[in-house]
Amino acid sequence: MISSEQNFPQRIRSFIRRQGRITPGQQLALDNYWAVYGLDPQADYDFDEVFGRDAPLCVEIGFGNGESLAKMAAANPGINYIGIEVHRPGVGHLMMQLAEQGISNVRIYCHDAIEVMEHKIADHSLAGVHLFFPDPWPKKKHHKRRIVRPGFVDLLVKKLKPGGYFHAATDWQNYAEHMLEVLSAESRLVNAGNGADYCERPDYRPLTKFEQRGLRLGHGVWDLIFRRA
Cβ atoms within 10 Å of 31's Cβ, excluding its own? 11
Pick the closest to residue 120 from 129, 130, 131, 112 (CA basis).
Answer: 112
Q: Which ranges of 106-172 would DSSP assign to H, the alpha helix?
A: 113-120, 150-159
The CA distance from 153 to 229, in Å, is 13
Residue tagged active-site, from 48, 112, 123, 135? 135
- For the question of residue 135 being annotated catalytic, the response is yes
CB 135 within 8 Å of CB 202? no
The answer to whether 206 and 213 have CB atoms below 8 angstroms apart is no
Which are the catalytic amino acids?
135
